[in-house]
Amino acid sequence: MTGRYAALVREDRVHGSLYTDPRIFVEEMDRIFRRGWVFLGHESEIAAPGDWVVRPIGLESVILVRDREGRIQVLANRCAHRGNRLCWKERGHDSRFQCIYHGWTFGLDGSLRAVSHKAGFDRDRADMPLDRAGQVGSHRGFIFANMSGDAGPLADHLGVGGRDLIERLCDLSPTGNIHFGAGWIGHRIESNWKMWPESDSDGYHLDFVHASMLRAVPDNYYDETVIGGESKNVSRAIDHGGGVSELDLRPSYRRELAWLGTTRDKIASYCAALEARHGKERADRLLWDGPPHGFIFPNLFLGEGNVARVDPVDVGTVLHVHTALQLEGVDQVLNRRLVRQSEAGLGPASFIVPDDAIIAERMQIGFQGLQPPLNGGDNGPGWIDLSRGRARESRADDGTRVGHVSDETTNRAFWRHYRHVMESRA
């Protein structure tokens, strides 16, 4: 099998069968979503011992729970006895998990605590905990896990680039902490999941796909950041390595707080609190820069004021699930503004992503029936061109590649890492 993905994923093109071949999807669920780090949620969602939420890791359902000692546990949502689903609501607060099939009871740490009618049970309870993620880690409250336990340190997975993206987001809070209290909105799309790391980090499509939004919302800031002509636009597309990509809009902002659509005098207490934490220079910088726009492999989108997961369902279906950035230690008026912005941008009835969804669904239709090229050659139908900007992107000593915001540098960043993961975990 070695070499199969190298044949389908080239430096400047990828093959359309990658989006439609169900065998590839099965391998992705193992190599990427079971054996690699996956973003699950945020510590603020399980603030107190006993708080839990249900999340997917690939196709598996897991319970994200804070145990009695305050540790984060990621447990298979499946009774260790006969496999019945333990939690069927989205979230809750409990002191234990009881299976309603035969009444087995598990602690918040996943240990088997009690078996009903125990006289007939002759196994050792200690041998029968819930299945669990092999590794769990968090960075500034963002929780990641992997089931296999051999994915290496989380810090390596995120890399300098990924950690920096998360830190720039959290530093916008006067306490350094953000929370996910605005809830999640799910958007179901008939496309392969990989179209979302691509679309979410694509700086080339705005003036076509989102033309209707740009006309209907005249006071948006996209003209100065991602449209506005190739020559005058100074936003950048960045490949940080390791599947971490960024559209760096900062160089294009022409005023501070453009990202929030407001001015300093209207949110004076926030600005003062930020300055008290970070000092004037850094606070001024943050108010100018705003939240980053980046993607962390394989499923975490930091979309300016939004945080989104990409949850695969099957080879042709994906959930794009998002929440709004919420800052700790600010006036609720500011967080409410962020909720309204999020509703405008992401979700099934928003002004932006439904148009991306249609493009993804049409691409998915376009790729139906494609077969991988014979003999690993790059001729034949069904190739997707991702060459834009290769000649003009720069490469730093640490491997970071930087291109124009409209270049496919970010898409190549995803695919280069995808190929590495799919080949190295073959």
Partner 1 sequence: MAPLPPCDGEPRVSPLPEPLRREIEDFLYLEARLADESRYEEWEALVADDMQYWVPRGRADYDPADRLSYINDNRARLATRIRQLKTGLRHAQTPPSPMRRMVSNIEILAVDHEAGVYTVGSNFVLYELAVQAGAALRVWPGRVTHRLRRVEGRLRMSRKVVELVTAEAPQWNMAFLI
Q: Of how many residues is the chain composed?
A: 426
CB nearer to partner 1: pick between 3 and 348: 348
- Minimum Å gap between C-beta 228 and partner 1 is 18
372-380 contacts: CB < 8 A, separation 24 or more?
A: 372/4, 372/7, 372/8, 372/15, 372/17, 372/21, 373/7, 373/15, 376/3, 376/7, 378/10, 378/13
Asked whether position 42 contacts partner 1 by CB under 8 A, the answer is no
CB nearer to partner 1: pick between 8 and 352: 352
CB nearer to partner 1: pick between 287 and 357: 357
Asked whether position 47 contacts partner 1 by CB under 8 A, the answer is no
Single-letter amino acid code for the residue at 70: G
Binding part of the chain for partner 1, among 47-55, 100-108, 259-267, 346-354 by CB under 8 A, reads 346-354
State the DSSP code for 150.
-
Counting residues that bind partner 1 (by CB under 8 A) gives 43
CB nearer to partner 1: pick between 64 and 80: 64
Asked whether position 63 contacts partner 1 by CB under 8 A, the answer is no
Asked whether position 361 contacts partner 1 by CB under 8 A, the answer is yes
- Minimum Å gap between C-beta 227 and partner 1 is 14
Q: Reading across the β-sheet that carries 97-98, which strands appear in turn?
A: 97-98, 105-106, 112-114
CB nearer to partner 1: pick between 169 and 338: 338
Single-letter amino acid code for the residue at 194: K
CB nearer to partner 1: pick between 198 and 239: 198
CB nearer to partner 1: pick between 218 and 377: 218
Asked whether position 332 contacts partner 1 by CB under 8 A, the answer is yes
259-264 contacts: CB < 8 A, separation 24 or more?
A: 259/221, 259/289, 259/290, 259/291, 259/304, 259/305, 260/290, 260/305, 260/337, 260/338, 260/341, 261/219, 261/221, 261/341, 262/337
CB nearer to partner 1: pick between 182 and 238: 182
Which 379-398 positions form the footprint of partner 1 (CB under 8 A)?
none
Which 74-113 positions form the footprint of partner 1 (CB under 8 A)?
90
- 8 A C-beta contact, residue 111 and residue 124: no
- Compute the distance between CA of residue 9 and CA of residue 3 in angstroms, rounded to an integer: 10
Single-letter amino acid code for the residue at 352: I
- Minimum Å gap between C-beta 39 and partner 1 is 17
Whether cis (ω within 30° of 0) applies to the bond prior to 291 is no
- Minimum Å gap between C-beta 186 and partner 1 is 3
Which of 40, 319, 330, 422 is close enough to bind partner 1 by CB under 8 A? 319
CB nearer to partner 1: pick between 67 and 356: 356
- Minimum Å gap between C-beta 326 and partner 1 is 9
- Minimum Å gap between C-beta 212 and partner 1 is 4
Whole-angstrom CA distances from 413 to 4, 298, 388, 401 are 19, 11, 13, 9
> 422 is written with which tokens?
């799919």
Q: Cβ atoms within 10 A of the Cβ of 56, count? A: 19
Binding part of the chain for partner 1, among 95-103, 108-116, 329-337, 373-381 by CB under 8 A, reads 329-337
Give strand pairing partners of 132.
Answer: 75
- Compute the distance between CA of residue 244 and CA of residue 167 in angstroms, rounded to an integer: 14
- Compute the distance between CA of residue 80 and CA of residue 193 in angstroms, rounded to an integer: 30
Which of 102, 362, 392, 395 is close enough to bind partner 1 by CB under 8 A? 362
CB nearer to partner 1: pick between 252 and 326: 326
> 398 is written with which tokens?
């640490």
Binding part of the chain for partner 1, among 51-59, 140-148, 232-240, 335-343 by CB under 8 A, reads 335-343
Which 175-214 positions form the footprint of partner 1 (CB under 8 A)?
181-190, 209, 211-213
**Residue ranges in contact with partner 1 by CB under 8 A:** 90, 181-190, 209, 211-213, 215-217, 319, 321, 323-324, 332, 335-336, 339-340, 342-344, 347-349, 351, 354-355, 357-359, 361-362, 364-365
